[in-house]
Amino acid sequence: MANTAELTHAELDNIIDPPALVQGKDDLASITDTVCNVAENKPPRAWYIAFLISLGVLGMLGASIVYLVITGVGVWGNNQPVAWGWPIVNFVFWVGIGHAGTLISAVLYLFRQGWRTGINRFAEAMTIFAVICAGMFPAIHVGRIWVIYWVFPIPNQMALWPNFRSPLLWDVFAVSTYFSVSLLFWYMGMVPDLASLRDRAKKKMSRLLYGIFALGWTGANRQWHRYERVYLLLAALATPLVLSVHSVVSFDFATSQLPGWHTTILPPYFVAGAIFSGFAMVVTLAVPARALFGLRNLITMRHLELMNKVILATGLMVGYAYAMEFFISWYSGNKYEGFAFVNRAFGSYAWAYWIMVSCNVLVPQIFWFKRFRRSIPVMFVISIFVNIGMWFERFVIVVTSLNRDFLPSSWHYFSPTYVDFATLIGSFGLFLTLFLLFCRFLPQVAIAEVKLQTPHAHAHHGDDH
């Protein structure tokens, strides 16, 4: 075990005074029990209900995709000039959601923020599933999905490569890299816990499956040593991705010459927005999950409060970006640019803009008050507001910029169709189905890491001090 880590935690404990990150009477064994019991015992009835609903919604997604592929992209509301509609909005939305996981896992790990342990597994899983949802949208939004593989640089008889100048191609690389690193990171961190599940498994099948994925983990000192090294390396690898993925996604817009897209502020603004929405989604999911699976002592009020602080901070950044966009569009003296932003706030989609501002900038201000920051119902409601607001942010960026660009003759209103709704709602079905499966079968909390945060883990150090 890395001494450095222990030392750091000790130092941290001095800096951040309790409330402890693990509360209650949990000892090392009971933590394992708490987490593993979820996977070992029958889930609560609520899980079944939620899973059935999610499956139904997932089915709706499947049906709408089948309909889409059979009929054509015209089943959506996309038109000329709004050639990108909800699918791209949803894509950016989900990629944004997928940000918190890596941030919590990698960046906070590197900064030795011990409080991450309660929620990191959870957030990482959310990342994986959100990126799956995100990746689906660009794939189904193209006109000819059956040749989508042309975006990959596969050697072919036509000697044709993708166009490396296209930001969409950068997207392909950025998102797929992010996905693979996140997946690896998540899985890597889970190996010791999978071994615990394997060791505790009573049924042959679970023993076999957990065994395969546990990769023969025995908890040997050497294994722990290598594990820590790899984890650190992966964390270092993943950290730049937190910045890069959403920056690259923002390039789709920033490098185009469309007024409203063509702004240099987009990369940092997108990253801040992504963290904002990602944390909001973690709160949205963590609040019911900790209640449902009895993890209140592991995902504590302190965790939630810290996340709410992040939401408040990134919300302010996003608000700053909104204001700065307006300032720059005015300051540039470019009439098209100026119009694009005035149109956002006061044009035909003003309602969407003000929903965005209300949800993302105004509503989170309530977190200045500790009372609300620590109130479960308040944070749950606000996290949902933030999710809605961030979806609308992407809607505002994509649709309002496109619907009125340079030539007024081409201006056209965009209205979504029922298939747009079915696909968006269906993507939540996909997300929740995967998430519920994760909750049911995999350790939701990083057992090994949480143990480091228990008073037990620090007890003997306390003597040293």
Stretch that binds other proteins, among 174-182, 235-243, 275-283, 410-418 (CB under 8 A): 410-418
Q: How many helices (H) and strands (E) does the chain have?
A: 20, 0
Closest CB 166 distance from other proteins, rounded Å: 4
Closest CB 339 distance from other proteins, rounded Å: 4
Q: Report if residue 408 touches other proteins, rule: CB under 8 A.
A: yes
Choice between 75 and 285, CB closer to other proteins? 75
Among 11, 59, 144, 288, interactor with other proteins by CB under 8 A: 144
Among 77, 114, 260, 364, interactor with other proteins by CB under 8 A: 77
Separation of alpha carbons 106 and 278, rounded Å: 14
Distance from the Cα of residue 459 to its chain's centroid: 35
Among 74, 216, 240, 288, interactor with other proteins by CB under 8 A: 74
Separation of alpha carbons 129 and 56, rounded Å: 17
Q: Report if residue 300 touches other proteins, rule: CB under 8 A.
A: no
Q: Report if residue 336 touches other proteins, rule: CB under 8 A.
A: yes
Among 48, 412, 425, 461, interactor with other proteins by CB under 8 A: 412
Q: Report if residue 255 touches other proteins, rule: CB under 8 A.
A: yes
Separation of alpha carbons 398 and 268, rounded Å: 17
- Cα Dmax for the chain: 77
Q: Report if residue 410 touches other proteins, rule: CB under 8 A.
A: yes
Q: Report if residue 84 touches other proteins, rule: CB under 8 A.
A: yes
Q: Report if residue 78 touches other proteins, rule: CB under 8 A.
A: yes
Query: With b meaning 16 or more CB within 10 Å and e meaning fewer, what string describes 225-264?
Result: eebeeebbebbeebbebbbbbbbbbbbbbbeeebbbbbbe
Distance from the Cα of residue 367 to its chain's centroid: 21
Contact status, residue 217 vs residue 194, Cβ threshold 8 Å: yes
Closest CB 163 distance from other proteins, rounded Å: 4
Contacts of 436 (CB under 8 A, 6+ apart): 47, 50, 51, 54
Q: Report if residue 71 touches other proteins, rule: CB under 8 A.
A: yes
Distances in Å between the Cα of 89 and the Cα atoms of 74, 316, 420 are 17, 22, 11
Q: Which two tokens stand for residue 68?
A: 């889409």
Q: Report if residue 404 touches other proteins, rule: CB under 8 A.
A: yes
Q: Which two tokens stand for residue 203?
A: 């049924």
Q: Which two tokens stand for residue 379?
A: 């944070």
Among 168, 215, 291, 323, interactor with other proteins by CB under 8 A: 168
Comparing C-alpha atoms, which of 432, 351, 363, 358 is closest to residue 395?
351
Separation of alpha carbons 90 and 137, rounded Å: 7
Q: Which two tokens stand for residue 251?
A: 């390039």
Q: Report if residue 100 touches other proteins, rule: CB under 8 A.
A: no
Q: Report if residue 81 touches other proteins, rule: CB under 8 A.
A: yes
Separation of alpha carbons 381 and 36, rounded Å: 30
Contact status, residue 160 vs residue 147, Cβ threshold 8 Å: no
Stretch that binds other proteins, among 42-50, 287-295, 304-312, 346-354 (CB under 8 A): 346-354
Contacts of 123 (CB under 8 A, 6+ apart): 100, 101, 104, 105, 278, 282
Q: Which of residues 356-395 bind other proteins (CB under 8 A)?
A: none
Stretch that binds other proteins, among 56-64, 148-156, 175-183, 198-206 (CB under 8 A): 148-156
Choice between 82 and 133, CB closer to other proteins? 82
Q: Report if residue 37 touches other proteins, rule: CB under 8 A.
A: no
- How many residues form the binding site for other proteins (CB under 8 A)? 56
Q: Report if residue 342 touches other proteins, rule: CB under 8 A.
A: yes
Q: Which two tokens stand for residue 268?
A: 């940092």
Q: Report if residue 459 touches other proteins, rule: CB under 8 A.
A: no
Q: Which of residues 201-230 bind other proteins (CB under 8 A)?
A: none
The residues binding other proteins (CB under 8 A) are 71-74, 77-84, 138, 141-144, 147-148, 150-151, 159-163, 165-169, 172, 252, 255-258, 335-336, 339, 342-343, 346-348, 402, 404-413
